[in-house]
Structure 1
Amino acid sequence: MIEDLVLVFFALLVFLTIRFRGSFYRFAALAVVFFLIANPAIRKKSEAPPPVLALCLDTSSSMAVKEGGMSRIDRAKEVIRRELPELRKRFSLSFYTFDSGFRQMAEEDFFRAGASGGASLISRVCAEITASLPDGGAMLLLSDGRDTAPEPSYFSKPLHSAGFGRVIENDMSVKVLEYPEKVFQGAVSKLRLRLERSGERSQARVTISRAGGKIAEKTLVFGEGESVKDIDMEFVPDEPGENIRYRVELHPTDARPGNNSDFFSVSVFKSLIKVLFISGRPGWEYSNLRALIKSDKRIDLTSFVILRNPSDYVPFPDNKLSLIPFPVREIFLNDISHYDLVILLNFDYTKFISPDYLSPLLRHIRAGGALMLIGGENLFSNGNYFKSPLGESLPFRERHGGVFSEDKFFLRASPGHPVTSFISSISELGDVPLKGMSPAAGTAPDAETVLETAEGLPVAAVCGAGKGRIMVLLTNSLWRLFFAGAETSYFYQEFFKNSFAWLTRSPLLDEMSVSGRKNYKIGEELLLRIQLRNAGRSGVTVRHDSPAGPAYLSPVMLSPGLFMVKQRIAEAGRHSLRIAVSGERGVRADKNFIFTAADTGIEDENTSASHSHLRDISRLSLGKYLGSDSFRAADIPSPDGDSVLYRPAMKNYYLLFTALFLLWLWFKENTQ
């Protein structure tokens, strides 16, 4: 902008002086301004110091592999020694070695370095080194190209590379990076895979199978110059169960079939849960709750409502009644284990069966089943359930001589339990009067209160029983919330939906879900994804207990409620991650994630070179790949700092001369 204004100013002066009668002066003025506008350039040798070239040598253990009687690292040093005189003429050299991190060192230490590192973080290290170089600098990478944690990186300076080691042509590998901890049967689930290749093979077919049966398939194609590819692949679990093992395979197999497959294990939950609902009396709680359950397509409901108890007087014989007899013995002795959740509403079992009939139900709960007891005048009548096999497993204790209370009370929800944590803040909840409470003396030591009265008396409590869970709700008047208003109706529906999910251990109610591998090798990078159910005002802390001792890791937030943990694995053995989610009221949820690191290192898994990766990063950094097992210093492109363009027309002394000359011409013409 400044140069343009200068040219305009001088052009005006030329217009004023061009009228002068002397043709010599007119020609001289035009020549001076033309030279200024043309602004010719002359290339001159730069007097600046030579540009910096960082020599970076890979010292990971794969560089110790011997081929042709010489290790890769020794071959790289030999080539550097040969080209060192020529490199010194053109560059100011600095020396680095790297494996899981980089180190700058003196030249003699550079040539004494050995290959023993447990990892080779080529992309990450090169990005950090190039960022530290001055303007005009460049980097020369000497490596076999085996990046144990390839990742997208930005290289701020040109990166030239030379590859060392034998390349296995047309080799392709697959590795599972992330997979979900829990999934639903029949629901689309996703895992993340990393595929690496060397050679010209660019296409492969990936399958996911279980017990010999294929459940997913995907064809992938590598782009030109692409050696590492991370993909997401979907699969649909077909059968429920804990820790079901799935196999990921590449087809067709190649010269190294050992890296053509990997595996992962997940817990698969039923997409359709079976619920048995028995009500001792018809009523509003039964009709509302049955309608709510029927509206959920994920629940297969079997329900019974008792219209006539054995003690009720009916002036007709049974064969004259249209009521279907309640099949209580068949249910409690034969079919009870087929149901994921059993709901007993105001049901006094003593009118139909003896306490021994509840023993199969208790065994089913301890094996992973669930039970919900809902109050009424018949629940806990004469201490019925407390005196049954279920008694010691219930979250309440018996109130001897207690009777059903008709007193009114107001409700409040616990903010600390998953069932009510999201709905406890509904203020209208405490404005609706409820009525009716079954007798109980208080909660058991291992129980947790979910609902309580305004005075703090427990209304609903939960506890565990073996692998199963039990909830007891002392009142059957929550239906009043449904009709009291929109907010309390929402509470009613969410409370029971969340209760069903918590009782059946559904992942839908997990405060957090964790996805990551359970098996690593030394030198690999732990990748752990943490998804929170409630992202608002939540913090995540991760404590890593490794064979070397405890340490805290720093989760990185990718988006609200989604965190990523990365950590290089340095010790073999059992590792435990204690993940805690904190909220306004302290720790809201915690979970242990266990993984194992094998004694072998990631560098020992595959020692074949990958020069295509070096080509990729050189291309991305605007550098040059110099060749395999050798290079010439003359092939390294000259940096822009070798010479400069000299423009005399823009020098201060010429601008001053032009201004004075044109001013003299103008003065000479206008003073005659």
Structure 2
Amino acid sequence: MTGSVIFDPLLEWSLVWAAVALAALFVAAAAWRGLSGWWLRGLAAVVLLAALFNPSFQQEDRTPLTDIVILVVDESASQRIADRPDQIAEALSEIEAEIATLPGTELRVVPLGDGEGDQGTLLMTALAEAMAEEPRARLAGALLLTDGQLHDIGVAPEMPAPLHVLLTGRAEDWDRRLIIKNAPAFAILGEPVTLTLRIEDQGAVPDEVATGTAVIQIAIDGGPAQSYRVPVGQDLDLPVTLPHGGMNVIQFTLPTLAGELTDRNNAAVVQINGVRDRLRVLLVSGEPHSGERTWRNLLKSDSAVDLVHFTILRPPEKQDGVPVNELSLIAFPTRELFIDKIDEFDLIIFDRYKRRGILPALYLDNVRQYVVDGGAVLVAAGPDFAQAASLFRSPLGDILPAEPTSIVIEEGFTPEVTELGHRHPVTEGLEAFAPVGEDGEPKWGRWFRIIDMVSVSGSTVMQGIDERPLLVLDRVGEGRIALLGSDHAWLWSRGYEGGGPQLELLRRLAHWMMKEPELEEEALIARAEGQSMTITRRTLGAATGDLELTAPDGTVSLVPLEETRPGRFEAVVEGPEIGLYRLREGDKETVIGLGPSAPREFETTIATGALLEPAVAATRGGVIRLADGTPDLRAVRAGRPAAGRGWLGITPREAYLTADVTVTPLVRAWLFLLLGALLIVGAWLREGRR
């Protein structure tokens, strides 16, 4: 119970003050005129004005409220390195015990995790939100249990009480990090692209480490890493030439050094999509036929294809007596194409070609070597493939995946995808491109010729009559070769009996020969969308093992893969945190980054109070390292220093809740009236007697 004297005027304050001014004027006039009772008039005016002010005694029934101390506990990713979790747990326990000993004081603990996406540590946002939920009149102080690395200092709230920082980490901490300063999203194959890297040391770097150079390891698509020694603290321009089309995953890694704070920022992944400037294709047609124009139209329909097409119209054995200088034909530039410029082509197609002496065995052997060295050849066989002039009976036969039996079957049949073909990326799901027949079922049009062959190597992905090989794919050395055992694929393009997916088949064949990762038979592919990873394991095998997933913090988990369609096994994984994930299944490895490989939390990992010092100094608070011990908490008056050696201060607010208020006038109204009347009568009598 508390009491105080208050004034509760009977009129509006403006009228009361007007009455005061009027009374003062009248008293002054009486004194100026020399009236002997002017002072009695003045006392009477004072009494009447006091009645208007109505002095009262106010009694309040108050319930004292506790003071509130807010403790924001930074539990972001950078607080989970080294021994910081132990420091946090110990400090939290001691602060809770310390607050419990302070009378009338409560502790509000606010945990703070990682910001959504890659926003970093939103420490001040968490403090402002916690303050908004508490009355400012009860806030006695705020403690920030953090490493001092925050990313929203610009939204620091105005503090009505001291703000203190309890700093994790140690003064001797040091760290090395890898920064990718510049990396393009696309690059043209065969042309170098420049990446800009930088290696930085932070904190108290030991003398034996501060040598000015560091070893960096670079790996592409999870392959073997190569090591290079590069300078520290300087921008490094690294020219890179992509090895293949599609997505190229380049991983940079710094070996973890003894005593380093964390290795979470020692790795980075750059994903660059390799695109071909132009696809150079050489199409050699052995003779004019119905499907020749189809091949040409298919290849010319893509503006990114540079096509060189030669059709042999006048073979050497044709002797019609016409002089060569009178012919409007272009001589076949055999040497230029198959010796001088063969390496400039990405794909060579032999369409119904047979040996006629135009291409000597030396040139065909050069084509064979071109494939072994990484080139690609597609042979579209016609009836001549089964004869003595077959390409199989040339040096090119050493790398062909099937051998002709000299039998040509001319009979209608529908091409079918083999069991292996349903798992091979070139032909898997090809039925989805088939036209729909009258019965509502997908159906391809028929072909009417197949060259009887015996597969000797590679993968038979399509078959014809009596399961005879129709399309056989094989890898030779660094290159690839495909053999199509029919020259009637053009019937699909013409729409015969509904046609078929010749365009899609040719596109996949070309991409497979160009070694596009999306069409590799054995591949481990990961795609990220937000915090979710879609992992695809493609294989020609019937089953796969569990996926080994290594998280950014080093924890390893096994993820089962589910077969979604033949040869394709998938899993969807929610990444618990942003960073670099390593995936492995069997002998296939890959990496993927959720968000940046080195998140914002790990850009700077050395604990420091520099960012928070201005906000702390404004409230006369303090910054204390937990490595020096958890400080004591003391009560200090507002405006006084709130920090010292080994202690931090909070300001008691003495807030209360008023339960009841009683107001009692100090003087009764009749008493004011009586006193005023007596003084007025006294003034009248004194002046009348005079």
Question: Which TM bucket (shorter chain)?
Answer: 0.5 to 0.7
- 2:35 is matched with none
2:660 and 2:472 map into 1 onto residues whose CA distance is 89
Which amino acid in structure 1 is aligned with residue 408 of structure 2?
Answer: F
- 1:482 is matched with 493
Report the CA distance between 1:349 and its aligned residue: 3.0
Report the CA distance between 1:533 and its aligned residue: 12
Q: Are the structure 2 counterparts of residues 410 and 262 from structure 1 closer, same or farther at C-alpha, using a change threshold of 3 Å?
A: closer
1:353-377 CA deviation, whole Å, 9 max, x = no partner?
A: 3433222212221222111000212
1:552 and 1:127 map into 2 onto residues whose CA distance is 37
Report the CA distance between 1:351 and its aligned residue: 3.5
1:403-454 CA deviation, whole Å, 9 max, x = no partner?
A: 332222112234322222243234536441211122312x234x22232237
Q: Does 1:44 align with 2:42?
A: no
Which amino acid in structure 1 is aligned with residue 494 of structure 2?
Answer: F
- 1:609 is matched with 607
1:180 and 1:579 map into 2 onto residues whose CA distance is 29
Report the CA distance between 1:260 and its aligned residue: 13
Matches within 5 A, 1:459-608: 459-484=470-495, 488=499, 491-507=501-517, 509=519, 513-514=525-526, 542-544=547-549, 551-553=557-559, 565=575, 577-578=583-584, 591-593=588-590, 608=606
Which amino acid in structure 2 is aligned with residue 476 of structure 1?
Answer: D
Q: Does 1:419 align with 2:421?
A: no
Q: Does 1:393 align with 2:371?
A: no
Q: Are the structure 2 counterparts of residues 610 and 276 from structure 1 closer, same or farther at C-alpha, using a change threshold of 3 Å?
A: farther
Q: Are the structure 2 counterparts of residues 354 and 79 from structure 1 closer, same or farther at C-alpha, using a change threshold of 3 Å?
A: closer
1:245-300 CA deviation, whole Å, 9 max, x = no partner?
A: 899xxxxxxxxxxx999885858453312111101122232211211211212211
2:623 to 621, 625, 628: 628
- 1:3 is matched with none
8 Å contact kept, 2:385–2:404: no
Secondary structure of the 2:340 match is helix
Secondary structure of the 1:424 match is helix
1:26-52 CA deviation, whole Å, 9 max, x = no partner?
A: xxxxxxxxxxxxxxx98734599x999
Matches within 5 A, 1:77-96: 85=98, 88-89=101-102
Q: Are the structure 2 counterparts of residues 485 and 565 from structure 1 closer, same or farther at C-alpha, using a change threshold of 3 Å?
A: farther
Q: Does 1:381 align with 2:384?
A: no
Matches within 5 A, 1:320-359: 320-359=326-365
Q: Which moved more, 1:448-457 or 1:368-377?
A: 448-457
8 Å contact kept, 1:180–1:515: no
- 2:456 is matched with 444
2:331 and 2:588 map into 1 onto residues whose CA distance is 47
Equivalences, count: 475
1:642 and 1:541 map into 2 onto residues whose CA distance is 63
Matches within 5 A, 1:39-118: 44-45=63-64, 60-61=81-82, 85=98, 88-89=101-102
Report the CA distance between 1:614 and its aligned residue: 7.0
Q: Are the structure 2 counterparts of residues 364 and 603 from structure 1 closer, same or farther at C-alpha, using a change threshold of 3 Å?
A: same
Q: Are the structure 2 counterparts of residues 433 and 607 from structure 1 closer, same or farther at C-alpha, using a change threshold of 3 Å?
A: closer
1:265 and 1:608 map into 2 onto residues whose CA distance is 29
Q: Are the structure 2 counterparts of residues 334 and 379 from structure 1 closer, same or farther at C-alpha, using a change threshold of 3 Å?
A: farther
2:498 and 2:611 map into 1 onto residues whose CA distance is 58
- 1:406 is matched with 410
Identical pairs, percent: 22
- 2:374 is matched with 368
Which amino acid in structure 2 is aligned with residue 424 of structure 1?
Answer: E
TM-score, length of structure 2 as denominator length? 0.52
1:283 to 282, 289, 297: 289
Secondary structure of the 1:460 match is strand
1:379 and 1:139 map into 2 onto residues whose CA distance is 86
8 Å contact kept, 2:164–2:622: no
- 2:677 is matched with none
2:92 and 2:537 map into 1 onto residues whose CA distance is 56
2:314 to 291, 294, 308: 308
- 1:296 is matched with 302
Report the CA distance between 1:56 and its aligned residue: 7.4
Which amino acid in structure 2 is aligned with residue 457 of structure 1?
Answer: R
1:483 and 1:42 map into 2 onto residues whose CA distance is 98
1:454 and 1:45 map into 2 onto residues whose CA distance is 96
1:142 to 141, 145, 162: 145
Report the CA distance between 1:126 and its aligned residue: 13
2:446 to 433, 441, 449: 433
1:453 to 464, 476, 481: 464
8 Å contact kept, 1:411–1:430: no
8 Å contact kept, 1:367–1:466: yes
2:413 and 2:183 map into 1 onto residues whose CA distance is 47
1:576 and 1:294 map into 2 onto residues whose CA distance is 41
8 Å contact kept, 1:162–1:614: no
Q: Are the structure 2 counterparts of residues 488 and 43 from structure 1 closer, same or farther at C-alpha, using a change threshold of 3 Å?
A: farther
Task: Show structure 2 runs of 5+ residues with no match.
Answer: 1-59, 153-162, 203-236, 253-264, 436-441, 539-543, 562-569, 593-599, 626-630, 636-641, 643-647, 662-690
Q: Are the structure 2 counterparts of residues 56 and 501 from structure 1 closer, same or farther at C-alpha, using a change threshold of 3 Å?
A: closer
1:63 and 1:358 map into 2 onto residues whose CA distance is 68
1:42 and 1:444 map into 2 onto residues whose CA distance is 102
Q: Are the structure 2 counterparts of residues 238 and 83 from structure 1 closer, same or farther at C-alpha, using a change threshold of 3 Å?
A: closer
Report the CA distance between 1:341 and its aligned residue: 0.5
8 Å contact kept, 1:449–1:462: yes
Q: Which moved more, 1:425-434 or 1:302-311?
A: 425-434
Q: Are the structure 2 counterparts of residues 192 and 387 from structure 1 closer, same or farther at C-alpha, using a change threshold of 3 Å?
A: same
Secondary structure of the 2:302 match is coil
1:47-105 CA deviation, whole Å, 9 max, x = no partner?
A: 99x999687796844879xxxxxxx979x9899979974563165779999999xxxxx
1:452 and 1:642 map into 2 onto residues whose CA distance is 90
8 Å contact kept, 1:426–1:487: no
1:488-521 CA deviation, whole Å, 9 max, x = no partner?
A: 45x12111111111111135646875479xxxxx
2:410 and 2:402 map into 1 onto residues whose CA distance is 19
- 2:276 is matched with 270
Report the CA distance between 1:455 and its aligned residue: 4.4
Task: Show structure 1 runs of 5+ residues with no match.
Answer: 1-40, 65-71, 101-120, 151-158, 199-234, 248-258, 517-526, 581-589, 596-601, 650-672
8 Å contact kept, 2:338–2:363: yes
Q: Are the structure 2 counterparts of residues 294 and 193 from structure 1 closer, same or farther at C-alpha, using a change threshold of 3 Å?
A: same
2:620 and 2:537 map into 1 onto residues whose CA distance is 47
TM-score, length of structure 1 as denominator length? 0.53
1:446-502 CA deviation, whole Å, 9 max, x = no partner?
A: x2223223743321121111121111111111111122279745x121111111111
Secondary structure of the 2:366 match is helix
8 Å contact kept, 1:161–1:625: no
